[in-house]
A and B are shown apart, each in its own frame.
Chain A
Amino acid sequence: MRHTPALRRWGALVLALAVLAPELRAQEVQKQGFLAGKRKWMFAVIAAVAVGVPAYIAGGSRTVEGNCSDRGCLTTIAVLVGGGAGFLIGLEQDQRLKRRLRTGPTLRYQSITIPLTLVPDRLTPFSGGAVVTGIGGAEVVYSDGRVVGRARGVRGIEDAAVLEERDLIVLATGSGLLAFPLSGDTVGGVLLDRSGGSAVEEIESNLAVADASEIRLVRIAGADDALSTEPLAAVASDGAVADLGWNPFRRTAWVLVGNRLASYAPAGLEKLGEVALPGEGISLRIRADRAVVAVGTAGVALVDIADPATPRLARLITGLRFAYSADLDGDRLYVAAGPEGLMVIDISDESAPKVLGVARTPRFVRDVMVVDGRVWVLDRDRRRVEVAEFAAPATPGQ
């Protein structure tokens, strides 16, 4: 084959068109990024050049005799083989991107990244920030990025509650309830009681504590190193309690157990009502008259809790692989979707919730909460918290 200048010019033009043609679809570029769908061509070209050029140079030496020993044949075969291999590698890259983008466009956002020392599991908000609990203890994370350790070495922390009036963090473990100072340099804590629990929540300066067999209400008595608990009420539980919530406006405690959400009056823990959920409840957040319940593979359930005696399942957001946690800010739902990232969903249209975007920078989003318009994202695998402010509405790619 003779490599005429004209042939080279036409070849370059064809390649350029193959690479640049999708650029003409501006919407595609905006949504998926410049390289989306074009990696196969780019890799094909790069590999073809990487293999073809050395073959072209080596073909000039004519040390090998055979059916395809001339420069032209050798170069052609090298370009085809290299280009083919590059095409296949690029094709897989494109398919990976396409798969990732199927859940929604990538959300780009500004955030403060706060590294943690423990493997985090849950976020518990307070006015100055959040308490992060996980394997190996707890850390108080302030909005300005400061991190203070608490409960170092404590294992099996199931849940945390913050009693700001008493400047206390209470941790529920299988071996007991522990209290630590919320602020200050004192890191030591106190064993409150040995009963422990799987969930804990502050209820009007008291504590609701739940385990597999009962839900109890206790008061914290004493001060400093002489803290203890005094029982106020107790009631049997129907099963292992996954989470507790408190609605201060309706003065109602909410208990997430199995596939049910139940309401209790704080005095005496009298059960008021219950609603069935489409799946096992994982976590619960109370937002005004709505309970936001992450129900794993079943998605996120929004329960109307305006009337504690008759809670009802108002909406179910599905299509998620697994919802670990969720929080609501107006009509915007934030879902901690584990390895899928953080999903931001606009639920203003009741008939058609819309995925505004997926934050894919975190490697494993285990928990999310919204405080004063800022979104706290807990990345388990990267061991960090991201505090982001999303513009309203969030724009993909911005």
Chain B
Amino acid sequence: MRRIAFASTLFLWIASPAAASAQVDVARAHLERGLAFASAGDTTAALAALREAVRRAPRMAEAHYQLARLHLVRASAVESDFKDRLAAENALQKALELDPNNPRYLVELGKVKLKQQVRVDALRLFNRALGAAAKQGDASLLADLHYEIGAIYEMWYEGMAHKHLAPLLRGPPPADRGLHPDERVSEFINEYLDQAPEVEGSGWLERDNMMEHYRAALRHDPGHMGAATRLLGVLYDDGRFTEYLALVQGFLARAPDRAEPYLFLGLGYHAQGRENDATEAFERGLAFLPEEDRLAIEDLSEILRRKEGEQYQALDAGARQEFERRFWSITDPLYLTEANERWLEHIARAVYADLRFAAPEFGLRGWETERGIIYIRYGRPARIAVFAASATDQGDRYRLGQQTIVWTYGRNGPTFIFQRQPGYRTARFAGEHEQLAADYRYQQPAFYKIPSLPVLFRIPVQVARFRGVEPEEAVVEIHAGIPLDSLSEGVDVKGRNLEVGFFLLDPEGRAVERRVRTLPVARAAEVGAELVRVRSWRLILPPDSFYYVGVEARDPLSWRAATARDTFTAWRFERGPLQLSDILLADFVDPITESPLMRDELRIRPNPALRYEAGAPLYVYYEVYDLEPDSLGFATYDVTLAIRVKSITRGGGFAQLLGKLADAWGFSIVGDDRVEVKFSREVKLDDRDRVPGWYRVELQEAPAGEYDIRLEVRDRQSGATAIRARSFTVGKRDSQG
């Protein structure tokens, strides 16, 4: 018996370690299988294998750790989804009991705490892991740790940046339109913000800690994408583009096949006005993106009205591509430059939105969030203000404990209010602001402020249509007034040229005509310098054809530009009864010959702006077609030229009010025919199909305002009548015009 007991004890003593070792080996095998399943995406099988590994070797810290990691991958940040987080935490606690200072275990436990929104504990664990990782010299782990710590500080900083105090005796800005029904929201909010003092330096320490840790992460791992991305966002917001671009270049050198570095590079170049470089960078970045992301960035639906956006979404791939091509072609703000600045701004906004507003814990890309959508539509707000979490619900239970974030685009622009749970990145519209955003979207789906176009002037344009040499041809004249004074103001460089361009696009947005030339310009300060240069283009086009026309001028040294955009349809002037050309308003019409019979025998200086100084003469030019001659070859026609006042420009305030009353009660000249001239002409046609006509109208006492000019021609022989009209304005006596 003793021998049996001794043998049994001896056997157990020898066999136990071996058995234990065998169990560990089995457990390791299950662990490897579990990791393989996890890599393949089969989390259920992975979970089973890892649980088996833990059961077989309960003292194997690595098994507990890997099990915890799997639970953590399955867990989301949603509060109610806690089972996986709890399981992960328990497993990690067990792993740390077995290996207390393992930095990897500490990091994972910190991540569990982050998902539980317990950031202080997470920070404590990460800092503890930092010490342990530094001893091991594990650069990759150190980089990850610094990144995680930086992310915590960034979350705290976001809760404190742009902090304002509510004005005395007023709560946070109201988000309900009903609270200020008679006032425009923007005026109300801007007035509110004027009284809300900003907390100077709020979040400074958190911001500094955040940047310090992100930089540390990059020191340990220069290719750490998370740290580089977050740091880039801060540098971009600060306008520190030298450092921004240096960081991006380094990022690009390490990850030349990723989309992100190119997109961030494009973002930086665009901010500096380097549009050609930005175009190249964005195009390369978009090419590297997965299809889904690329389509999301290029998506136009958010910058169209809702109904148009829905129609756009319903297009098939080919039709959508064609729509996008046409959209960007027609909306390009400057055809003179190679780059499409508006497209660049749209892409830049989408990239920035993803950089700053993404909520990966909720699976949201930046362009899907509400702030991201507003940013894509309207760009950076003029003012941002954040107010502390509300201790009361103010009639809206969803506002309790929520921070208020105000974005305003100025008193004349839109204002949006968001609310955010402290500790979360994503913010939602507050109160009625989702509806307000939808309302504003209908009025103005998007507007753009482009860095490389600091100033964009308007070029006035007058389009006039005439018959061509052949009746099947339509002649269209485009007369533009290039504002040399505005373009050259404040730029003291002699011998420079403006780029001037004329562009014609078909209804599909394809270029039909492109004429670019340089225009030498004198310095504005020089005496006698030209203020406005009139440029004219004469086109022979198929009748009934529709076109987009653009006239542009740009100073490449100052980046100032002026543009005109218009549309027209070339009229058909078929042979037949009496027809009349467009009325061309001019500054002078001067016959070159004694009795001009054709347009070429007249010197005409058009008035592109259709604006006259009070007292300056107004010239009218027109052509009559297909008058019917009598038996002797003479045509006789009656002309009625009438000028009517549409509205009068009055001085501000009281004068305007009185004037409006006078207009309404018929006591002013508005609506009256102030000038009407009737006369007849007899001309010998000699087989001509057209007769030019021109008149000079003195506007001596005409008050400043808007006028209509109406031309009626009646052919006495055929009895046919043709009418044309055009509007013009008269400026005040001391205005520049």
Residues of chain A touching chain B, judged by Cβ–Cβ distance below 8 Å, are: 92, 95-96, 99, 150-156, 173-176, 178, 187-191, 225, 279-280, 282, 296-297, 321-322, 324, 338-339
Contacts and interface: CB of A to CB of B under 8 A. Distances in A.
A96 B243 contact: no
Contacts of B218: 297
Interface in B240-268: 240, 242-243, 246-247, 249-250
A177 to B, nearest CB: 11
Contacts of A188: 492-494, 523, 525
A280 B558 contact: no
B246 A296 contact: yes
A279 B492 contact: no
Contacts of B590: none
B666 interface: no
B492 A92 contact: no
Interface string B220-243: 000000000000000000101011
Interface of B: 201, 204-205, 208, 215, 218, 238, 240, 242-243, 246-247, 249-250, 273-274, 454, 489-496, 523, 525, 556-560
A338 B496 CA distance: 35
Contacts, number: 86
Contacts of B559: 155-156
Contacts of B242: 282, 296, 324
Contact of A296 (B205, B243, B490, B558): B243
A153 B205 contact: no
28 contacts: A95-B205, A96-B204, A96-B208, A99-B205, A151-B493, A153-B490, A153-B557, A153-B560, A155-B557, A155-B559, A156-B273, A174-B274, A174-B556, A188-B525, A189-B493, A190-B493, A190-B494, A190-B495, A191-B493, A191-B495, A191-B557, A279-B246, A280-B246, A282-B242, A282-B246, A297-B247, A324-B242, A339-B240
B558 A154 contact: yes
A153 B492 contact: yes
A155 B494 contact: no
Contacts of A338: 240, 243
B240 to A, nearest CB: 7
A189 B491 CA distance: 9
B492 A189 contact: yes
Nearest to B245: A280
A152 B215 contact: no
A212 to B, nearest CB: 9
Nearest to B218: A297
A178 B493 contact: yes
A207 B373 CA distance: 49
B199 to A, nearest CB: 11
Contact of B491 (A95, A154, A282, A324): A154
B494 A322 contact: no
A336 to B, nearest CB: 10
A153 B486 CA distance: 12
Contacts of A95: 205
A280 B492 contact: no
A151 B493 CA distance: 7
Given A297-B215, A324-B242, A280 B249 contact: yes
B205 A280 contact: no
A118 to B, nearest CB: 12
Nearest to B222: A297
A203 to B, nearest CB: 24
Given A191-B496, A280-B246, A280-B250, A153 B491 contact: yes
B557 A176 contact: yes
A378 B247 CA distance: 23
B557 A321 contact: no
- Which are the 9 A-B pairs with shortest beta-carbon distances? A175-B556, A153-B491, A153-B490, A296-B246, A188-B492, A155-B559, A153-B558, A189-B493, A191-B495
B308 to A, nearest CB: 35
A175 B557 contact: yes
A358 B533 CA distance: 55
B217 to A, nearest CB: 12
Given A190-B494, A321-B215, 16 more contacts: A92-B205, A153-B489, A153-B492, A153-B557, A153-B560, A154-B558, A155-B454, A156-B273, A156-B557, A189-B492, A191-B557, A279-B250, A282-B246, A296-B246, A297-B218, A297-B246
B250 A225 contact: no
A339 B242 CA distance: 13
Contacts of A155: 273, 454, 557-559
Contacts of A178: 493, 557
Contact of A176 (B204, B274, B491, B556): B556
Contacts of A296: 242-243, 246
A282 B243 CA distance: 9
Nearest to B208: A99
Contacts of A279: 246, 250
B205 A96 contact: yes
Contacts of B556: 174-176
B493 A154 contact: yes
Contacts of A339: 238, 240
A81 B44 CA distance: 52
Contacts of B558: 153-155
A153 B492 CA distance: 8
Given A173-B557, A178-B557, A296-B246, A225 B240 contact: no
Contacts of B489: 153
A191 B454 contact: no
A130 to B, nearest CB: 19
Contacts of A99: 205, 208
Contacts of B243: 296-297, 322, 324, 338
A85 B201 CA distance: 18
A209 to B, nearest CB: 16
